[in-house]
Structure 1
Amino acid sequence: MTDDEVLDIAIQMGRIFNDGDEEVARRLVAPDFVDHEASPDHPGGPEGYAATARWMRGVWEDATWSIVDSFAKGDKAMLRVIFTGRQVQDFMGVPATGKRVEVQHLHLYRVADGQVAEHWAVRDDLGLMRQLGAWPARP
């Protein structure tokens, strides 16, 4: 696959979260997909990834992942996104606050045979917790 084709697949993955488009998960997430960000007991494959998206869309009202930067090389694509949303359910032990957040994420996807085989992510969870009031701001 070309770098542009790999990048296009990674960008389409955003529709699973932004639009709740689970058909994209069934089409583009490999059956043996591994989400290295998920807990070890979380199911893999298309249904596991779609379930994560459903959960996130339930926790965060008006959840949006906006791509700021992206590139692909070989079988991997990297997306830098800004996540925004308003917390309406418990998240990582923090009860719903009703607060709106804006957080940077980095998502790395490995594509094999036209499907996403692996996903890694780095999120600014400390910044998120500060915005929710769950971690004190710097003095």
Structure 2
Amino acid sequence: MTTQTQTQTRTQALTDEDVRQIAVDMGLIFNDGDEEAAHRLVAEDFIDWEAPEGAPRGPEAYANTARWMRGVWEDARWEIVDSFAKGDKAALRVIFTGRQVKDFMGIPATGKRVRVQHIHLYRIADGKVVEHWAVRDDLELMRQLGAWDKPLEGAPKPAPRA
């Protein structure tokens, strides 16, 4: 059996539930600070499409991101609300909570607690995560931190309360 055939066999052996569970287990890295999980779950050639262009790749880079986030946000948690997988991809809808205790993207520490939704997508190959994408409600995060307090121009005005 060639290496390519062996790789295809291992990839095909993963069920949708296996792929979903690998994505769910990624929470160990951010929620628990489990850096060994990063090396166990994240491929060496892993690409985090949320990272700035030219950022380091692989398990150590992902563990560094988790370490940074856990330093910025006291009591940081990513609670999985929904999850599913099909083929080599898994999707997680999570609620992120935490209290900002350090500078975050240019916003000085506010001490404020936040609660925002994220959607994370993972692609799995050979039992490891090889790609990650995310959609976060950053506008709501900025609103909760007090960095954004203006409605979007042209947005409907809220109805007056009775």
TM value normalised by structure 1: 0.98
Partner SS state of residue 128, structure 1: helix
Partner of 1:41: 54
Number of matched residues?
Answer: 139
The CA RMSD measured in Å over matched residues stands at 0.8
* TM superposition shift of 1:137: 4.5
The gaps in structure 2 that reach 5 residues or longer are 1-13, 152-156, 158-162
Q: Percent identity?
A: 75
Partner of 1:109: 122
1:76-112 deviations in Å (ceiling 9; x for gaps): 0000000000000000110000000001000000000
**Structure 1: how far apart are the matches of 2:48 and 2:107?**
23
Partner of 2:73: 60
- AA in 2 matched with 1:88: V
**Structure 2: how far apart are the matches of 1:14 and 1:109?**
12
**Structure 1: how far apart are the matches of 2:105 and 2:66?**
15
Q: Which has the higher strand share?
A: 1
Which contiguous aligned blocks of 4+ residues in structure 1 show a shift greater than 3 angstroms? Answer: none
1:26 has 2:36 as partner: no
- Within 5 Å, give how 1:126-137 maps onto structure 2: 126-137=139-150
Rg comparison, structure with higher value: 2
The gaps in structure 1 that reach 5 residues or longer are none
TM value normalised by structure 2: 0.84
- AA in 2 matched with 1:71: F
**Structure 2: how far apart are the matches of 1:81 and 1:94?**
23
- AA in 2 matched with 1:69: D
1:121 has 2:134 as partner: yes
**Structure 2: how far apart are the matches of 1:121 and 1:137?**
25
